[in-house]
């Protein structure tokens, strides 16, 4: 099985979530002080990893991920694009993602700038 970074982070979050919600069980297994430490570390780690996962799961990153998939030739973006999608479509480092035509590209450049 080939897991990507987002899937790995989601699995880690699931484990940390179980630990955070297992106060009674951890207290029985480890003792009061140790259980508090495990739960505190798990909660802090969940906050950090959730923030990272939010960035990795953004709309722009999703489009980049799809463009990088084998079998994808081109992603054409029209004038209804969001600012994030327009930024990807006008990024010269994303050759598989682009505007449907030259006029649309001009509109997307403005959209990407927030105009």
Which pLDDT belongs to residue 1? 76
How would you class 115 by CB atoms within 10 Å of its CB: exposed for 0-12, middle for 13-18, buried for 19 or more? exposed
Q: Is the pLDDT of residue 31 over 90?
A: yes
Q: Is the pLDDT of residue 39 over 90?
A: yes
Q: Do 40 and 63 fall within a single domain?
A: no
In angstroms, the CA 98 to CA 89 distance is 4
The per-residue pLDDT of the chain, averaged, comes to 93
Q: Do 41 and 86 fall within a single domain?
A: no
pLDDT digits (tens, 9 = 90+) for 57-84: 888 999 999 999 999 999 999 999 999 9
Q: How far is CA 58 from the centre of its chain?
A: 5
> Which domain, by its residues, includes 50?
5-56
Confidence of residue 107 (pLDDT cuts 50, 70, 90): very high
The pTM of this model reads 0.67
Determine the angle formed by the axes of helices 32-56 and 23-30, rounding to 10 degrees. 130
Domain count, the chain: 2
Q: Is the pLDDT of residue 88 over 90?
A: yes
pLDDT digits (tens, 9 = 90+) for 4-23: 899 999 999 999 999 999 99
CA angle 67, 71, 72 (to 5 degrees): 30
Which pLDDT belongs to residue 4? 87
In angstroms, the CA 14 to CA 37 distance is 18
In angstroms, the CA 21 to CA 48 distance is 17
Q: Which of 56, 72, 92 is the last residue of a domain?
A: 56
Q: Which of 41, 56, 71 is the last residue of a domain?
A: 56
Which pLDDT belongs to residue 2? 85
């Amino acid at each position: 099985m080939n897991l990507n970074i987002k899937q790995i982070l989601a699995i880690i979050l699931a484990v940390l979530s179980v630990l955070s919600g297992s106060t009674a069980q951890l207290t029985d297994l480890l003792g009061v002080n140790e259980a508090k430490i495990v739960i505190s570390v798990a909660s802090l780690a969940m906050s950090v990893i959730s923030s990272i996962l939010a960035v990795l799961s953004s709309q722009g990153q999703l489009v980049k991920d799809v463009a990088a998939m084998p079998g994808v030739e081109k992603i054409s973006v029209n004038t209804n694009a969001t600012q994030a999608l327009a930024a990807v479509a006008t990024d010269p480092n994303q050759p598989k993602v682009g505007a449907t035509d030259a006029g649309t590209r001009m509109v997307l450049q403005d959209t990407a700038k927030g105009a």
